[in-house]
Structure formats: structure tokens, C-alpha cells
Amino acid sequence: MALLKNIPVLIFLVLSPVLYGQQEDQSEALAEIIEKYGQAEVTFAYPGYSGLTGIGRLISISSVVDDRVFAVLSSKDVDTFLSLGIKYKLIIPDETKSVESALSVQEAMNWDLYPTYPQYDTIMHKLAGDYPELCMIDTIGYSLEGRLILALKISDNVGEDEDEPEVFYTSTMHGDELQGYVLMLRFAEHLLENYQGGGQEEKLVDSLEIWINPLANPDGTYNGGDTITNPTRFNSAGTDLNRDFPDPMDPSIVPDHENMEMIGFMRERNFVLSANFHGGYEVVNFPWDRWLGKIPADSVWFYNISRKYADTVHNHSVETYMDSYNDGVVRGAVWYVIYGGRQDFVTYALQGREVTIELDITKETPAARLPLLWNYNYRSFLGYLENAFYGIHGKVIDDDTGEPVRAKVFIGGHDKDSSQVYSDTLSGSFIRMLDPGTWDLSFTAEGYYPVTVSGITLESAQQRFITVRLSDSATQVPRLPEEVLKIYPIPAGDHIFIDPGTITGQTVNIAIFDHMGNKETELHNIASGSDDIFIPVSHLAPGYYIIRLTDMQGRQHHASFVKN
């Protein structure tokens, strides 16, 4: 992507004076390293926040550590970089460091060596073949050099498109940031192997549609062959894929081939929650990357889920791991500004919720360290996906026909910068993940009169479920949403409690349905006194359930819960 022509000349006037010093000519060595390795890494003094923001529009900044900036150059970046006159140091690649590759698929699946590309392809198909009821393989697209960009779908009814939250993990869009590649392969295997253990893995697989793309940039990782020898940050065209997504602040960015394939895949699936994995630092980075002055509407929620990821890591790692910035958590632009970043595109343009997780201070993690990183992080991999269970879940339907309606779900006084969500066209389902508090949700759709649902109280790690009916008649008053029940604990163990709220003192009937609509439990004439209603659920299999309570007037009240 050629950004130089779109950057005003004035940008060079605001850069720190450190950029103007004369420098011993290293351009020949720089060219030789790029010719040999496909890229070159340089470091230079931190030029101030505004100076770095300007430079970052022109070249690929990989990290900022203390007072040093680290950047990676492809062949198409070199002239632009040298024209800035920055006093830099060339980082000479360590010839003694090598990525240890497995000799067989069996050896690669011990997860302490890196697979070759054919081994990777075999492992992906093997996981799908070994667990055909839980796992299937899909092709996101092809790289510029024709390599497959693959994803695994993992779910309890994997061949069906269920009305469940879809979540997405993707790794190694920078081809030389290798650790997430192996860890995501191992995570897929871990979910499948532990599915019937009655634990967190079973709950996730039963209640979510989980997609895992271990390798987003195969051409960069397998630069020059089928074995990892000289991996590059860039794709084969020299593009940094994490600076190449559509950006409202820079309309000159036109996505390269791999990103066009990825965008089409993500648009089709409407992921409610995702994360992309990187290396070269150790931190959980949340939006925005592009705006320092704009705070996301859901900044507190983003911080809290990032905090939980890092804190869980800290409980199982050495003291110095993931301890940068705010003890392992940073809002992206506070670190440094980037344009064309993936997490901002997903959150802004697709109304998803994505963070970037940097797994290791070393990009090309030595293979022997991979099991250690796994032990540090796999509990957080599981816990992060659980965020899709919580918040306000529901359906938007036509009041007359009961058919699903695609509606905008907006929180006045809170939502901004494209933070609204939409109900699904086919199912009418929506998920609005939020922090604890009391929320008013407004629903609008073309051809319907708007409805606002007020006073939905949400507690930590709680799910509330509502059904919203929209009417297209000016003379018909739309029915209010069925009242939402408060259920705890979520996830449930052997029992749940229902807070009867406004129906205290009535006799009620209770039914519990599984995610396919099958009735699992029915209880009649249950008294709702001053105490919360106790319901045993130990007989239920782990998974996602909807509970329906019918009061003496025939009104229905709904909620959902997940059982461990």
C-alpha cells in the first residue's frame, strides 16, 4: 500500500529532531538483509507521540519499548524509510537462532516443535476427521502464493448453523510471530479432547460456535518454502496485513488479497467476540488503536475482559510475564497509533468486539518454550470465550407474524462510534455485551415503529434474555417485551435460583428447554414467595438452556443460562 502520497508534507516538520541527524550509511547492509531474509528490522529513538504517529503512517512499527521504537521494513518500505533521515540501528538477524521443525505430524502434535506447511494442512484435516461430530474444516480463502487460509469450526452440532453466539480466534497475521500459530492448533485439539470431561470445554463447545484460524498469513510464515526458515511479517507482496484493513481515518487503504478473503469470511458469520494473537510483546491490547482522544463506548467492558485475561495468566505464569503497561493491559493508541488495524475494523465496521493479544516478547519463540506459553495462557483462552455468554441476549420479532426482524440495537447516551449491534436477519437474535448496570435498549428497523426497553439491570457475569416485538402499525401499540427473569449462578452447577421479581406471591409454571427447543424439565404450580425459587438442574447435560416461567395471568417470562 502506497501511503506516502497521501500524507501531507507538513508531517515531516513535526517529527522529533532525532530524525534529522546524519547517519553512517547502512543502506547497503539494509538492502542485503532484505534480499536475504525478505525483511529487515531497525530500531530508533522514540521521536515523541505525534512524531511516531506520523512515521507509523509510512512504515510498519512493530513495538515501542521504553524509549526505543522497533520497525520492520519490506523491500517496498525502504526508500520511504530512508527518505525520513531517521538515525537508526540495523538489527542483524541472529544466524544461530533457528525455528525447530517437526519431522512428522505425530511429532508436531506434541506441540513443542513447529509444523511444516504440509504437516499443518494434515493436522487441520486430522482434527476434523478425528472428531467429525464436533469439528469441520473450512477455507477462508487463498494466499497470494496459493496457500490455503484455513479455519476450524468447533461446536456440538458442527454441521448445523445453530442459533448460538459465534466466536473467532485468529493468529499469525504477522507471519514471523509464530507462537500463536502452534498454540491455536493445540487449543483446537484441547477443546476436542476435553469435550466430554464435563468441564469448561464442554460448556463452550455446547453453547458456542467456535472458529479457529491458526495461520492467517501462510506466505509470510513459510516464506521461501514449506519449512519455517526466514518467516516475514509481511505477505508475499510486502504488505503488513495488520495495517491493511479499511479505515475511516484513511480511505487510501485498499485491503490486499488475504484481507479481502478474511473480511468476506467475517462478514458472513457475524462474530460477536474475537481475538487475534501476535508476538513481540506481552500485553492485551484493546480498541481503539487509531484514536487516542476517542474512548470506546465499551471501554470499561473492554478493559475488564482484558484485565481478566491478564490476571488469569498471572495466576499461572512467572512474575515477569505479561507485566507491561497496566500490568498487562493497554488501550492500543496509548501504546502507539496504527491505521488499518484489524481489531478496530472488526469493532467499528462489523460491530464485533475484538482485542489483540501479544503472547511473547520474542516473535520467533523457541520451540522448547511453546509448552510454557501454553500453560501460561490456555485457561485465559477458555475464559475469554465465556464473555460471549454474558450481557443482554434476545430476539427481535415481528409482532404479527413472529418472524425475525433485523433491527438496530442502540443504547442512547452510551453508544457512539459505531458501537451499536444488530439482530440477525435469519434468527432475530442479538447479543449486547455490557458491564454491570441498568440499561435502556432502543430497537429500530425499517418499516417498524421503534421500541425502547428500559431498566434492564445487569450484574457481573450475568445473562439477561428478552424478546422484543416490533409493530408496523401506527394504530397498534407494540407489546412490551416479555419480562426478563434474573437467574443465578451463571454458569450453573447443580441448581439455579430464580428471582421472581414482580410476580412474587403468585403460583407459576416453569419449563426448561435446550438450545434446540426440546423441553427438558417442566414444573407446575410452584409458589413464588419472598424467597428466590430453587430449581435443581443436576440432571441436565452441560450446555445452553432457556427457561420459561408462566404466571397466573398467562404472561410468559424468559431467561437463559449455561450449565457446567
In angstroms, rounded to a whole number, what is the distance separating the alpha carbons of residues 301 and 297? 9
Overall average pLDDT of the 355-376 stretch:
96
The three three-digit cell numbers of residue 285, written as one number? 491490547
Q: What is the pLDDT of residues 272-315, one digit of tens each?
A: 999 999 999 999 999 999 999 999 999 999 999 999 999 999 99
Q: Which residue has the higher pLDDT, 525 or 1?
A: 525
In angstroms, rounded to a whole number, what is the distance separating the alpha carbons of residues 477 and 234? 57
Report the predicted TM-score, pTM, of the whole model to 2 decimal places.
0.84
Query: Percent of the chain at pLDDT above 90?
Result: 74
In angstroms, rounded to a whole number, what is the distance separating the alpha carbons of residues 40 and 232? 9
Q: Which residue has the higher pLDDT, 506 or 244?
A: 244
| pLDDT value, residue 486 | 76
Strand ranges inside 94-242, DSSP E: 135-142, 148-154, 166-171, 209-213
The three three-digit cell numbers of residue 485, written as one number? 427473569
Place of cell 510471530: 177
Quick check: 459 pLDDT over 50?
Answer: yes
In angstroms, rounded to a whole number, what is the distance separating the alpha carbons of residues 279 and 261? 23
Overall average pLDDT of the 415-424 stretch:
97
Are the C-beta atoms of residues 158 and 133 closer than 8 Å to each other?
Answer: yes
List the domains of the chain with CATH numbers.
4-91 (no CATH), 105-389 (3.40.630.10), 390-481 (2.60.40.1120), 484-564 (2.60.40.1930)
Of 147-161, 181-195, 428-442, 543-557, which range is least confident?
A: 543-557
Are the C-beta atoms of residues 514 and 548 closer than 8 Å to each other?
Answer: no
Are the C-beta atoms of residues 526 and 450 closer than 8 Å to each other?
Answer: no
Residue 351 identity = Q
Helix (H), strand (E) at residue 382? helix 370-385
Are the C-beta atoms of residues 156 and 134 closer than 8 Å to each other?
Answer: yes
The burial class, CB within 10 Å (0-12 / 13-18 / 19+), for 481 is: buried
In angstroms, rounded to a whole number, what is the distance separating the alpha carbons of residues 396 and 427? 8
Overall average pLDDT of the 349-370 stretch:
96
Quick check: 182 pLDDT over 50?
Answer: yes
Question: Could you give the residue ranges of the DSSP H alpha helices within 148-285?
Answer: 179-193, 200-207, 218-221, 257-269
